[in-house]
Amino acid sequence: MPRQYFGTDGVRGRVGELPMTPDFLVQLGWAIGQHAQQGTVLIGKDTRLSGYMIEAALIAGLTSAGCSVLTTGPLPTPAIAYLCRQLPEVTLGIMISASHNPYEDNGVKLFDGTGFKLPDSVEQAIEQTITKPLQCVAAKHFGKVKRLKTAATQYVDYACSLFPTQYNLQDLHIVLDCAHGATYHVAPLIFEQLGAKLTVIGYEPNGVNINDHVGSTSPQLLQKMVVAEGADLGIAFDGDGDRVLMVDESGRILDGDDLLYILAQDRSAESGIVGTLMTNFGLECALRELGFDFYRAKVGDRYVLEAMQQRGWWLGGENSGHIIDLHVGTTGDGIVSALQVLACLARHKKSLTSSLRGLKKFPQVLLNVVVSERPAALDHPQLLAAVQRIEASLKDRGRVLLRTSGTEPLIRVMVEGEDETEVTAFAQELVAEVKACYGAL
């Protein structure tokens, strides 16, 4: 059945509008509590002002269902996943965040007691429960609420423990961009404890400046700071800390594809690596040259994880900077991924720039076509014929991807190939075909 409230990453929306309203969130908390069966629920959040309201509403619903609650205050999403694994009393974890979105949005992400995001079937069951009348447990069975005061310390110690003890960061000057988000207090502590010289930006959240011209979705300030400070590199997280990108000493941005390539050079090619439909074709070619099998999942870190688990592979990620390594965690962790990249550089005595010499990314042109109505499937014979013609021209030198937006009346046209002029012409040709077949506004 289609889900009404849960998307690819929990429940998300504009605060004050359904489903991010106090009354709905109380009902959601109660429905989650029914699934948790009077267990203990861990709640973390990023730095959005609306987090206070959402946390309070969820707590009201959860405790009325008989669940006890542990709160952590602002912490990265992967810290909540980690603590779910570490605390035996926790049966479910909640992260209040809209990730890289502006402060006007917020969301609710759910994890099971082992730190993995809830499967679709469980989210569907929670949705069905939301529609039922809220019935409180008896007063003597209401849940209690406590603050987990050691939450940040536990996560800092965990992240530091993953960096090889034979190395440190004492020779590196790093500019750290915390996006005024959930990493603002733990990330500097971690990198300082490992010896790095730090220049920190985006570490003064005020409730409304999260992701505002800072962080992994707005790295321009980071690029300028790395060059101005003469730093060795820069690291940027998104608002909830599950994404990361890096900047080399010249100010060049390294996205998730670049970071996956660096990590792959440090791994055995006995396994494979999962990317997405948006992973650059150049990375696929470079990974195959290193001996790795490669698989493209649908866009979304939950689908990357699903494909990894189905194949028994350990590493995967998105070009947005979500990187999952099942050896160390159950979800994308921007801080840990950055530390893994730095460990690779230390082990092989390379810089970011030299580590990417075997990767030649292909030009990628992505165009959005606004249509009058989003089609259920892109199966118009005229469009399919055009795609086949262009794919034949590209052969093994590129690829074509057409997909509809999940939330807007958009058709996304993407073409990749070795020659940027050719790729641009093909993309524009497909845009014309889309308009002819489906109409355009």
Q: What are the catalytic residues?
A: 99
The 3-state secondary structure of the chain reads CCCCCEECCEEEEECCCCCCCHHHHHHHHHHHHHHHCCCEEEEEECCCCCHHHHHHHHHHHHHHCCCEEEEEEECCHHHHHHHHHHCCCEEEEEEECCCCCCCCEEEEEEEECCCCECCHHHHHHHHHHHCCCCCCCCHHHCCCEEECCCHHHHHHHHHHHCCCCCCCCCCCEEEEECCCCCCCCHHHHHHHHCCCEEEEECCCCCCCCCCCCCCCCCCHHHHHHHHHHCCCEEEEECCCCCEEEEECCCCCEECHHHHHHHHHCCCCCCCEEEEECCCCHHHHHHHHHCCCEEEEECCCHHHHHHHHHHHCCCEEECCCCEEEECCCCCCCCHHHHHHHHHHHHHHHCCCHHHHCCCCCCCCEEEEEEECCCCCCCCCCHHHHHHHHHHHHHHHHHEEEEEEECCCCCEEEEEEEECCHHHHHHHHHHHHHHHHHHHCCC
Q: Could you tell me the two tokens for 166?
A: 């034979």
SS3 content of the chain, % helix, strand, coil (to 5): 40, 25, 40
Q: Could you tell me the two tokens for 331?
A: 């979800």
Identify the burial level of 94 via C-beta atoms within 10 angstroms of its C-beta, where 0-12 means exposed, 13-18 middle and 19 or more buried: buried
Give SS3 for 438.
helix
Q: How far apart are CA 307 and CA 314, in angstroms?
A: 10
Q: How far apart are CA 400 and CA 398, in angstroms?
A: 7
Q: Could you tell me the two tokens for 180?
A: 């005024």
Task: Determine contact, residues 295/358, Cβ cutoff 8 Å.
Answer: no
Q: Which amino acid is at 388?
A: Q
| Beta bridge partners of residue 105, listed in sequence order | 14
